[in-house]
Structure 1
Amino acid sequence: MPDDAAPRVTLYSRPGCHLCEDARAVIEAVCAELGESFTEISIDDDPALTERFGHEIPVTFVDGRQHDFWRVSADRLRAALRG
């Protein structure tokens, strides 16, 4: 994957969120395994994101579409990135 390609995975999170830390670990591992990258966005930095995702974080998007919230399944994420 070229270095300048946009990350396929976006993690919306909040500092100090233990579920977000768990999700980040799964996403980091799967992305490293598949040669993908991800970006992480704190919902606390944007009131619209806080309103949209405040009760569902962590929220994961793959290729611009919502994929998961609360927990990230490595198998589901792997399948989405391969599919």
Structure 2
Amino acid sequence: MMDGTDRHCRFFHRLLSQHARLYSEMIVADAVVHGDREHLLGFDRAEHPVALQVGGSDPGLLAQAAKIGAEFGYDEINLNVGC
């Protein structure tokens, strides 16, 4: 969900359940590759397990964004390639 499951929302959800997998907002791959990564991808260690949702249609950008997400420590990379 875009503009809904930001780090504050995920932190609150983690207080409700210690075991549920939390998901980031869907972030466009181009923004991950070229944007403010700390702002877009940053999360608190208490949020684990947490998945990064990346959207896009360019396989190269999706691969780059997935690698960046993995380097940030996400437990899962979830690709959204459209409906």
TM-score by length of 1: 0.30
TM-score by length of 2: 0.30
Q: Which structure would you say has the larger RCO, counting Cα contacts within 8 Å and 6 or more residues apart?
A: 1
